[in-house]
Amino acid sequence: MDKLLATTFLNTIFGRIPDDQWISIFAIDRTANQSSRAAQKVLWSRVDEISELVERLAPLSPDHCIWYGVSSRRAKLDSGRGGTNDCALVPCLWADLDVTGPGHKSENLPPTEEAALGLLEAFPPPSFTVRTGGGLPPIWMLDEP
């Protein structure tokens, strides 16, 4: 994991969120039975502790699929991811733009990254696009969270 890149990314997404709110990060161990609770983790961090969060994520990155909850949360939850009532602010809009490959069962996905990016031509250009290894989710930063 490139810690500087991860820190920059999370600060870009959450940098305008009040410091007392929470970020939720989800991780599934790719080497374990993914349906077991032990394979699934939720890491929490206050918005003002992103650097510390990245340090906790770095050891997981080789064996885990890691993603983030786009909405900040009002409070750190004792268990689970939470639901709509736990969400506070949404700093960006995003699309789940997957590409055909071994990580996806669906067969009606774009066959290549180029084909996936072609689908975005009907929309305003995203603020940036992330290569996740299984897709290219575009992200549009909002003027105000």
- pLDDT at position 35: 62
| Cβ contact 143:127 at 8 Å | no
CA angle 98, 57, 137 (to 5 degrees): 20
- pLDDT at position 23: 95
- pLDDT at position 81: 85
- Tell me which residue has tokens 């929309």: 123
- pLDDT at position 94: 93
pLDDT-derived band at 36 (thresholds 50, 70, 90) equals low
Mean pLDDT of the chain: 90
Q: Which amino acid is at 7?
A: T
pTM summary value: 0.86
Beta-carbon contacts of residue 72 (< 8 Å; ≥ 6 apart): 14, 17, 21, 22, 23, 47, 87, 88, 89, 91, 145
pLDDT-derived band at 37 (thresholds 50, 70, 90) equals low
